[in-house]
Amino acid sequence: MSMDMSEFLEVFFEECSEGLDVMETGLLNLGNGEVDVEEINTIFRAAHSIKGGSATFDMVEIAGFTHVMETLLDQMRSHEREVTTAAVDLLLESVDCLREMIDAARDEEPIDEKRVDDLKKRLEVMLENKEEGADAASEPEAETPATESAEGPKKGWVIDFYPQPDILKTGNEPYRLFDELRQLGELNVVCNLNKIPDFKNFDPEQNYLGWRLQLITTVNEQRVREVFSWIEGDCDISITPLSDEASARESKADAAPTAEAQAAPTPQAEANAETSEPAPKAETPAPQAAAAEKPAPAAPAAEAEKPAAKKPAKAKKKPSGESGSIRVSIEKIDSLINLVGELIITQSMLSQFTDEFDMSQIESLRDGLSQLTRNSRELQETAMQIRMLPISSSFNRFPRLVRDMSSKLGKKVDLVISGEGTELDKTVLEKIADPLVHLVRNSLDHGLEMPEKRRELGKPETGTIELKAYHEGGNIVIEVVDDGAGINKERVFQKAVENGIIAPDEKLTDEEINNLIFEPGFSTAEVVSDISGRGVGMDVVRRNINELGGQIYIISEEGKGSTISIRLPLTLAIIDGQLVKVGTETYVIPMLSIDESLQINPKLIKKYKGKIDLYKLRDEYIPVLRLHKIFGLQTDVTNFEDGLLVVVEAERKRVGLFVDELQGQQQVVIKSLEKNFRKVDALSGATILGDGTVALIMDVASLIRQHLLSQGKITNTSLEAA
Amino acid sequence: MKKILAVDDSPSMRQMVAYTLKRAGFEVYEAEDGVEALEMARELDVDLVLTDINMPKMDGIELIRSLRGLPAYNGKPILTLTTEGSMESKMKGRDAGATGWIVKPFDPETLVATINKVL
């Protein structure tokens, strides 16, 4: 039977990577002192699955490597081996190596054999150190291949078979065993009825029979025993060679049929043929014919089997990037299907209204439409859900990262993760991974103090880094919290002045100073370490977050620690938007960037340097951008008192957008401009409104950058000071 | 058509087993752990159960024990899938009431042949 295994490979690889995550998480938990047997069991199971799968898919190296890991884990599980840090470290390293092997297999690249061999040896050395034969005994017991022994064939066997009374309960029907024996040769069955009790004591579910079987065959005793292997111990069985004279007589008469039976390719024979030598050696003159015949049917089978198993390993589907496939729970799909069902009901309800519509039906039409609205909104939400994955897939890598890093830095850290079940869009999730790593590294490297320093300060020696995720409104908030040194505002301020980010005489609030660390060209680390100073600054982190339509800011208290908050939209495909009118055009401003909208009091407008309007919003002056000017539109609304001001914020800068009027808020589906036209500054995309017109979606951050900072060379300072 | 319930926590293994058996003309149901399997077995009254040993929630051993406690599964063939030739897990399965075992990795033909042997 040839099978295209490639179908399953994708699933297998995905499963492997999940399994590896499970192993890693588990191993890290083991490192924390208390040894939890269930934890080891979980790790063991994951290793076990990978081993089983890789063997099935003919990935010999992976299977072999995992086997050694599994053996080590098995010893831990059965308390034969202590869970030492050294062992955990070695296993963690092996997990890394295994991950590389699996990636290599997926990408059809060669594996780093030296590293694999090296690690495997180290694992083996560790295994040998503890067990010294005591346990080694359980190993070789594994698989004794069922090759015909050199002992030479008897003419047959007499088998006395007396199963236990409850043999039938396990589903082991004796007649099936007889069928199997018949495939090995000619079988003669004699039943022994001696043990049948009288009717009163007769239990119909019990077996009272015994048998004497005469099997005329050339196979050895072991092969015969194999037939009974499932019930070994549940029956009395004795196998003795068929007495010579009887067999001589029998074999003469039955040489031909015996040979035939032998030639029939039993599964066993084929398995043998596939794995080792093509066929058992010819042993006696009688079955010579059979032996000669045997390789013929077996060999093609072996050949057919081999390439079938090999080919898919070569002709693997190229995974299309990280996001090739996604695993969705049945639940989500079921609710989706359920909603589609409801949609169809609504549709059939609405289709009643045909040409002969009369006004008396208006009420039910309205009901139908509102139902349709509800259906489609739910459908949209549920469809979005499919792309949502728990953030744990991103958080999971941190225990390891923190462990490795803290030992490198000589710091003591507890990593506390919460909200790992919070779901967000897969694309967002993938893009957030690197910035998060950077932030955590940063907290560890620059935030947390060395243990001695912490002791001096009266803090616990072990620092804490918290990773949190939670939903707030339509957003997801991710926080990295540490109880380290916090931000040294003076130094940050100085540095910002040195790097020309701010003027020396600028007055900034504490919060503003803290957030200077996200400015381009800013880096406080005095010594660039190999951990966080890798040329990627916090400005890159902020840019990445902004690109996802999110925001980042830091709250820090000197000496107590910092909290970095990232606020992200749940999905990139749909946003909540405010529709605004400018001239004849409608624009969409993402709700996330809007602080407030207000009617303009002309008295609060001031001209700065004669060309830029500033609006006094409570205690602060914000620049006003006339959208009709920026976008070059004709409008009747040019006086401040006639229009409205939408206060937006991006990258910690606030501006007022002067628009003709506000139109309404709605969810808009983002259509890419880049894909359909080209990248346009200050716009992040377009959408199609209910009436079919196209509205452009504003990219507030880039709008502010371009039309404010470049134009008037206005920095925050001058605005604040004005 | 004979009904087979395949139980394994590994989706790829489950897929392989199901694919192989479906091609061999069986009606195949899948469960990912003992708990789910037990529930399905109660509902479906299958002709054979093929289960992995190492699984979360309820392992194969406990599943077999529970199945044997149900009148409908008294005497029905239950096979375990054991990864290695480990005697221990084979014996554990059998003591729990399994009919026999199939060693992983299996080739499709062996799987079908073994199942045909007991069905």
pLDDT digits (tens, 9 = 90+) for A72-88: 888 888 888 888 888 88
Q: Is A420 a catalytic residue?
A: no
Contact B75 A168 (CB under 8 A): yes
Q: Is A591 among the domain residues?
A: yes
Q: Is A323 among the domain residues?
A: no
Q: Is A318 among the domain residues?
A: no
Condensed to tens digits (0 to 9), the pLDDT of residues A530-554 reads: 444 444 578 888 888 887 878 888 8
Question: C-alpha distances in angstroms, A644 versus A374, A398, A600, A647?
Answer: 32, 47, 6, 10
Cα gap B20→B28, rounded to integer Å:
10
Provide the pLDDT for residue A326: 75
Whether residue A263 sits in one domain with residue A350: no
Provide the pLDDT for residue A3: 55
Instruction: Answer for the pair A458, A528: CB distance below 8 angstroms, yes or no.
Output: no
Cα gap A503→A496, rounded to integer Å:
8
Is residue A359 over pLDDT 70?
yes
CA nearest to A67, candidates A80, A77, A52: A52
Provide the pLDDT for residue A324: 63
Structure confidence at residue A473 as a pLDDT band (50, 70, 90): low
My answer on whether omega of the bond before B105 falls inside 30° of 0, hence cis, is yes
Q: How many residues does chain A have?
A: 722
Q: Is A1 among the domain residues?
A: no
β-pairing verdict for A156-163 and A210-216: antiparallel
3-state secondary structure of A542: helix
Distance from CA of B5 to the nearest CA of A (A): 15
Q: Is A105 among the domain residues?
A: yes
Is residue A475 over pLDDT 70?
yes
Whether residue A521 sits in one domain with residue A603: no
Whether residue A461 sits in one domain with residue A543: yes
Choice among A48, A438, A628, A707 that is catalytic: A48
A698: which strand partners?
A: A683
Q: Which of residues 31-70 of A touch B (CB under 8 A)?
A: 42, 44-45, 48-49, 51-53, 55-56, 67
Sheet holding A463-472, edge to edge: A413-418, A463-472, A475-482, A561-569, A551-557
Structure confidence at residue A250 as a pLDDT band (50, 70, 90): very low
Structure confidence at residue A178 as a pLDDT band (50, 70, 90): confident
Counting runs of H as helices and runs of E as strands, what totals does chain B give? 5, 5
Instruction: Answer for the pair A688, A474: CB distance below 8 angstroms, yes or no.
Output: no
Most confident of A248-257, A364-373, B103-112: A364-373
A488 touches chain B (CB under 8 A): no
Distance from CA of B98 to the nearest CA of A (A): 6
Provide the pLDDT for residue A646: 93
User: Over pLDDT 70: what percentage of chain B?
Assistant: 97
Q: In this structure, what CATH number is given to the domain that contains residue A74? A: 1.20.120.160
Structure confidence at residue A647 as a pLDDT band (50, 70, 90): very high
What backbone phi and psi angles, to 5 degrees, belong to A720? -60, -40
Condensed to tens digits (0 to 9), the pLDDT of residues A393-424 reads: 888 888 888 888 888 888 888 999 998 888 88
Whether residue A336 sits in one domain with residue A357: yes
3-state secondary structure of A220: coil
Q: Is A12 among the domain residues?
A: yes
Work out the mean pLDDT of chain A and round it to a whole number: 76
3-state secondary structure of A416: strand
Distance from CA of B43 to the nearest CA of A (A): 19
Condensed to tens digits (0 to 9), the pLDDT of residues A50-63 reads: 888 888 787 888 88
Condensed to tens digits (0 to 9), the pLDDT of residues A577-602 reads: 899 999 889 999 988 788 899 998 88
Q: In this structure, what CATH number is given to the domain that contains residue A649? A: 2.40.50.180
Work out the mean pLDDT of chain B and round it to a whole number: 86
Instruction: Answer for the pair A447, A412: CB distance below 8 angstroms, yes or no.
Output: no
Instruction: Answer for the pair A237, A159: CB distance below 8 angstroms, yes or no.
Output: yes
Pick the more confident residue, A170 or A437: A437
Quote the tokens at residue A657. Answer: 């957008």
Q: Is A280 among the domain residues?
A: yes
What residue numbers bound the domain in which A370 lies?
Answer: 330-389
CA nearest to B92, candidates B36, B53, B56, B58: B53
Q: Which of A31-35, A204-208, A328-332, A509-513 has the lowest mean pLDDT?
A: A31-35
Cα gap A667→A590, rounded to integer Å:
9
Q: Which of residues 90-109 of A touch B (CB under 8 A)?
A: none
Whether residue A438 sits in one domain with residue A383: no
Choice among A24, A29, A39, A70 that is catalytic: A70
Provide the pLDDT for residue A299: 42
Most confident of A351-365, A476-490, B73-87: A476-490
Mutate to test the interface with B, among A39, A42, A56, A325 (most CBs of B within 10 A): A56
Contact B100 A230 (CB under 8 A): yes
Q: Which of A473-477, A659-663, B40-44 has the lowest mean pLDDT?
A: A473-477
Provide the pLDDT for residue A31: 67
Cα gap A507→A716, rounded to integer Å:
10
Provide the pLDDT for residue A645: 92
Residues of B engaging A, defined by a Cβ cutoff of 8 Å: 9-13, 15-16, 19-20, 23, 54-56, 68, 74-78, 83-88, 91, 94, 97-101, 103-110, 112-114, 117-118
Ordered alpha helix ranges (H), A83-220: 85-106, 113-131, 174-182
Is residue A321 over pLDDT 80?
no
Distance from CA of A52 to the nearest CA of B (A): 6
Q: Structural domains in chain B?
A: 3-118 (3.40.50.2300)
Condensed to tens digits (0 to 9), the pLDDT of residues B30-68 reads: 998 899 999 999 888 899 999 988 888 888 889 999 998
Whether residue A396 sits in one domain with residue A381: no
Nearest-5° Cα angle at B94, B93 to B100? 95
Q: Is A442 a catalytic residue?
A: yes
The residue among A522, A537, A569 that closes a domain is A569
Q: Which of A392-396, A525-529, B28-32 has the lowest mean pLDDT?
A: A525-529
Contact A45 B68 (CB under 8 A): no
Q: Is A343 among the domain residues?
A: yes
Provide the pLDDT for residue A474: 64
Whether residue A554 sits in one domain with residue A635: no
Structure confidence at residue A152 as a pLDDT band (50, 70, 90): very low
Question: C-alpha distances in angstroms, A72 versus A76, A328, A629?
Answer: 7, 34, 72
Q: Is A48 a catalytic residue?
A: yes
Cα gap B77→B3, rounded to integer Å:
12
In this prediction the pTM is: 0.48
Mean pLDDT of A230-245: 76
β-pairing verdict for A574-582 and A585-590: antiparallel
CA nearest to A636, candidates A628, A624, A647: A628
Contact B55 A45 (CB under 8 A): yes
Which residues have a Cβ under 8 Å from the Cβ of A515 and sit 6 or more positions away? A553, A554, A652
Choice among A29, A207, A375, A442 that is catalytic: A442
Say how many CB pairs under 8 Å bridge A and B. Answer: 115
Structure confidence at residue A229 as a pLDDT band (50, 70, 90): confident
Cα gap A443→A437, rounded to integer Å:
10
Contact B99 A5 (CB under 8 A): no
User: Over pLDDT 70: what percentage of chain A?
Assistant: 78
Mean pLDDT of A705-717: 54
User: Over pLDDT 90: what percentage of chain A?
Assistant: 6
Provide the pLDDT for residue A588: 93
Residue in chain A nearest B74 by alpha carbon? A169
Determine if residue A663 is left, alpha or beta; phi over 0 gives left, psi from -120 to 50 gives alpha, anything else beta: alpha
Mean pLDDT of A132-156: 44
Residue in chain B nearest A39 by alpha carbon? B56
Provide the pLDDT for residue A105: 86
Whether residue A308 sits in one domain with residue A241: yes
Mean pLDDT of A131-150: 40
Cα gap A151→A684, rounded to integer Å:
81
Q: How many domains does chain A have?
A: 5
Pick the more confident residue, A662 or A170: A662
The residue among A527, A547, A569 that closes a domain is A569
Whether residue A486 sits in one domain with residue A398: yes
Instruction: Answer for the pair A463, A457: CB distance below 8 angstroms, yes or no.
Output: no
Whether residue A418 sits in one domain with residue A296: no
3-state secondary structure of A573: coil
Whether residue A397 sits in one domain with residue A368: no
What value of ipTM does the predicted structure carry?
0.76
Condensed to tens digits (0 to 9), the pLDDT of residues A434-451 reads: 888 888 988 888 888 899
Is residue A66 over pLDDT 70?
yes
Whether residue A303 sits in one domain with residue A170: yes
